[in-house]
Homo-oligomer: A and B are copies of this chain.
Amino acid sequence: MAGVNKVILIGNLGADPEVKHLEGDKVVANISLATTESYKDKSGNRVDNTEWHDLELWDGQARIAEQYLKKGMQLYVEGKIKTDTWQDEQGNNRKKVRIRVLSFTMLGGRPEGGSTASEQQPSGNYANKPAMNSPNPPVMESASTDDDLPF
């Protein structure tokens, strides 16, 4: 039966993407994304609850990720849950849940010690205006999964 398997995340990259170029022009990028939920406990103290998500991007999106995404950036992600299963050395069944990214959009965010736009260092401007130096900023606001870069 046709089902729905949809994930929507807004969070920050815990590190630069890890990109692997495979044979046959295939590219895969792995990203660790933190989503933080903030609430007040019964004593009225604010509590932060961070969840880490393993994202997987392929081909065109992996190439964009490689070029533009940096540790600390804030990302909107849409994707689906995907479980990889295998046997470990002891013969135990193991599985790992990943988010297969179908589309993403860079949001604001900034690295630690960020500054205002006018004060910004030549290097490291990525967070406030990620693709500003690029002739055409990347836009991937459609659930496109084709291999072409969108610009």
Tell whether, in the assembled complex, residue A107 and residue B38 are in contact, meaning their CB atoms are under 8 Å apart: no
A112-151 vs B, CB cutoff 8 Å, 1 = contact: the mask equals 0010111000000101110000001001111100000011
A43 at interface (Cβ–Cβ under 8 A)?
A: no
Partner of A128 from B2, B37, B110 at Cβ < 8 Å: B110
A51-65 vs B, CB cutoff 8 Å, 1 = contact: the mask equals 111000000000000
- From 77 to 102 in chain A, residues with beta carbon under 8 angstroms from any chain B beta carbon are 80-83, 97, 102
Partner of A3 from B1, B5, B9, B151 at Cβ < 8 Å: B9
A106 at interface (Cβ–Cβ under 8 A)?
A: yes
A42 at interface (Cβ–Cβ under 8 A)?
A: no
Tell whether, in the assembled complex, residue B107 and residue A141 are in contact, meaning their CB atoms are under 8 Å apart: no
Tell whether, in the assembled complex, residue A118 and residue B125 are in contact, meaning their CB atoms are under 8 Å apart: yes
Partner of A36 from B1, B12, B35, B46 at Cβ < 8 Å: B1
Interface size for A (C-beta < 8 A) is 53
Counting chain B CB atoms within 10 Å of each CB, which of A10, A12, A46, A109 scores highest?
A10
Counting chain B CB atoms within 10 Å of each CB, which of A1, A9, A76, A150 scores highest?
A1
Tell whether, in the assembled complex, residue A6 and residue B9 are in contact, meaning their CB atoms are under 8 Å apart: yes
Tell whether, in the assembled complex, residue A140 and residue B2 are in contact, meaning their CB atoms are under 8 Å apart: yes
**Chain B residues positioned under 8 Å from A141 (CB to CB):** 2-4, 37-38
Tell whether, in the assembled complex, residue A2 and residue B106 are in contact, meaning their CB atoms are under 8 Å apart: yes
A34 at interface (Cβ–Cβ under 8 A)?
A: yes
